[in-house]
Amino acid sequence: MQLQTSQAQGLRVRTSARGLPALARRRTVSVSAVASEPRVEVPSSLQNNSSWSPASWRSKPAQQQPEYIDKVEVEKAVAEIHRMPPLIFAGECRTLQQRLAKAAAGEAFVLFGGDCAEAFSQFSANRIRDLYRLLLQMSIVLAFGGGVPIVKLGRVAGQFAKPRSAPTETIDGVTLPSYRGDIINGPEFTEEARRCDPQRLVRAYNQSAATLNLLRGFSYGGYAGLSRVSQWNLDFMKNTHEGHHYMDIAKRVDEAIQFMIACGMDTNMPFMRETEFFTAHECLLLDYEEALTRRDSTSDLWYGCSAHFLWCGERTRQLDHAHVEYMRGVHNPIGVKVSDKMAPNDLVTLIAMLNPSNVPGRLSIIVRMGAKKLRDKLPSMIEAVQRSGQVVTWVCDPMHGNTETVSGYKTRRYENVRSEIEAFFDVHDKMGTVPGGVHLEMTGDNVTECIGGGASISEDDLNSRYHTHCDPRLNAEQSLEIAFYVAQRLRQRREAMNKAATN
């Protein structure tokens, strides 16, 4: 499908009359409409992308890049990846951008989830399948409760590189380079493992290609068909409260399908047999991203073909640095993670740099603050973006603002994760704006890495099944519990909108 680009896509923003509840002042989307001109000055150097190339980031300071010893080996690895086929395609990115534009208007919701960092040692078809099944389960819960389409984005098939707060770490008096993700070095605390190895770039590409091949098979080969809803429940979830709750929904979906079949619906229609699934990762390792940047033959535009969606992290979003320079030139839908450290005016400037044409669905702002800071800081950010006339998709990352160390383990408390999501919805409800999605570090494995939730994981349980190479992830039961809570909030929003519309 060829979709319109640049100013040809957009939102026509309309609010309800004064006197309606704030929640009812809702934006509506029209993808064929033209977006309003943003009321913010865009630097003259960014009025067009004539000065941009896939390698123009090299003229800027680049944070969080590995220090390779053998530059020749790096060039060989990058050249090999450059000769490889793209992992994703421009048309898929344009479809995703259209879906994210709907989420910005409240007519869809983004479910963003997956591993903190993919690992070579944990790569298997079963692990990919279990994460995929969990995301399908969560999307059914959200769609059933929220009454809107769910945009499924997986942190998978490329989420290998991790930013670090320090270049080295010291254990028992021994200092070695920090682990930066399997695409760069290994997690084992040895000098050999911590050496930056360029051949890991090629291995990461190959694992991503294999992962995408399986995901596409699941998505378009019938596995994700609605008739299989009751078969997606993970085996170890069957006797849990959340597993039973999910099966209740699955039964109701099955009954609805049987009714539609009785009314003459064709079960071979694509929406019954297939589902859209998109991949995402942090745009961190720029040698790798440049090698997979390709010009689309149908639009003549550049796309980062390592994933459908790329985001810039809290540590690499400097306005005049390499990561923002790279991301402003690719036409994928992109995101930026922001914390309470981001000043509202700086956020407006960053949005203008990354989306100067104000294309809806182009840019998602992923907020990560912790519940209290979010209630204090997010309203001023939303107000600044609204005043500027900019259109973004607001997404909540309740994980990274809630990390702590307990008994020597890095962990997160389920209650804090849920509290931040609650604050995110509360702020948007109060301001009459749209909560567009949620971003979770999670796994389909039965791990014990986050404390609390219905799984009742205690501090003493952390050493039982703590398998992450980096940050702690919600397990399947905790993730599904979050999905039920978000579905409840989406349902409440829908009911408030319907009530306001009839008054």
This prediction has a pTM of 0.88
pLDDT one-digit tens code per residue, 350-369: 999 999 999 999 999 999 99
Structure tokens at 60: 């800027």
Q: Is 417 helix (H, G, I), strand (E, B) or coil?
A: helix
Residue 243: inside a domain, yes or no?
no
Using DSSP, how many helices (H) and how many strands (E) does the chain show?
12, 14
> What is the residue range of 180's domain?
70-228+274-502
261 assigned to some structural domain: no
pLDDT value of position 297? 93
More confident residue, 235 or 318: 318
In this predicted structure, what is the pLDDT of residue 315?
Answer: 93
Kindly state the average pLDDT of the residues 423-434: 96
Nearest CA among 64, 70, 58 for reference residue 196:
70
Parallel, antiparallel or unpaired: strands 334-338 and 363-367: parallel
The verdict on whether residue 337 carries a ligand-binding annotation is yes
User: 326-357 pLDDT, tens per residue?
Assistant: 999 999 999 999 999 999 999 999 999 999 99
Over the chain, what is the mean pLDDT?
86
Is residue 471 part of an annotated ligand binding site? yes
Is 400 marked within a binding site?
A: yes
Residue whose entry in the numeric block shows the structure tokens 């998602």 = 364
pLDDT given at position 168: 94
* Residue 192 falls inside a structural domain: yes
To the nearest 10°, the Cα dihedral for 339, 342, 344, 345? -160
Query: Do the annotations mark residue 294 as ligand-binding?
Result: no
More confident residue, 282 or 469: 282
The angle subtended at Cα 205 by Cα 200 and Cα 211, nearest 5°, is: 120
Alpha carbon distance 144, 20 (integer Å): 26
Confidence of residue 454 (pLDDT cuts 50, 70, 90): confident
Kindly state the tokens that stand for 68: 């390779």
Cβ-based neighbours of 357, under 8 Å, separated by 6 or more: 6, 7, 35
CB-neighbour burial class of residue 341 (10 A; exposed 0-12, middle 13-18, buried 19+): exposed
Tell me, what's the pLDDT at 318?
92
Which CATH number do you get for residue 473?
3.20.20.70
The pLDDT of residue 241: 72
- What digits encode the pLDDT tens for the residues 128-175? 999 999 999 999 999 988 889 999 999 999 999 999 989 999 999 999
Q: What percentage of the chain's residues is helix, strand, coil (to nearest 5)?
A: 40, 15, 45
Report yes or no on 251 lying in a domain: no
Is residue 22, in this structure, part of any structural domain at all?
Answer: no
Cα distance between residue 22 and residue 36, in whole Å: 22
SS (H, E, C) 177-195: ECCCCCCCCCCCCCCCCCC
Is 441 within any annotated ligand binding site?
yes
Q: How far apart (Å, rounded) are the C-alpha atoms in residues 363 and 355?
A: 7
- Calpha distance 344→445 (Å, rounded): 38
93 appears as a binding residue in the annotation: no
Asked whether residue 216 is marked as a ligand-binding residue, the answer is no
Q: What is the pLDDT of residues 21-52, one digit of tens each?
A: 455 444 433 333 345 666 666 555 544 567 89
Q: How many domains does the chain have?
A: 1
